[in-house]
Amino acid sequence: NHLQNSLGFKVEQASIVSNTSLPSHARHAAMEQIASMAGTLSTLTKSLMHREERVVVPAVAALIPKGQQESLNSKVLGSLGLWDSRMHLVGMHEAVQELRPEESDLFQTSIPYLPRIMIPRWKRNLYVPQAGMLDE
C-alpha cells in the first residue's frame, strides 16, 4: 500500500510539472520534490551498491566454490537480455578489479575473449551513461 501511494505521489508530481496551465511556482515546487526524490534514490542505490561490493561479493567469493560461481554466472547471463547481460559483465568487471588478484584471474578465465575485449566499449557506451545518472 505504501509503495502504491508513493508511486501515485510521484506520478502526480510529474503531472504537475508537465501541466503548463498551472502556476510556475507550483510546477517549480513539484520539480524540486522530484529532484529531492531522485537524490534520495541515488543515495539509497549507492548505499546498496557499496554494501554489495563490501559484504556480499567477498562473502560469495569466500563461501561459494568457484565452480558454482561460474555456473551461476552462466545462468544469470543466459537469463538476461543482451543489454542487461552486457551491463552485468561490466559491473562484474568493475567489482573484480577491487578484489584479490585471483578473483580477477578467475574473471579472465571464465569470460570468453570477445566479451572481455568489448567491456571497455560497453562501459563507455552503456554503463557510464546509466551509472552517471545516479551522480546527478
pLDDT at position 79? 65
Residue 18 has pLDDT above 70, yes or no: yes
Q: Residue 107 in contact with residue 92, Cβ under 8 Å?
A: yes
Residue 1 has pLDDT above 80, yes or no: no
Average pLDDT over residues 103-130: 80
CA 46 – CA 121 distance, rounded (Å):
23
Structure pTM? 0.45
pLDDT at position 125? 80
CA 115 – CA 132 distance, rounded (Å):
22
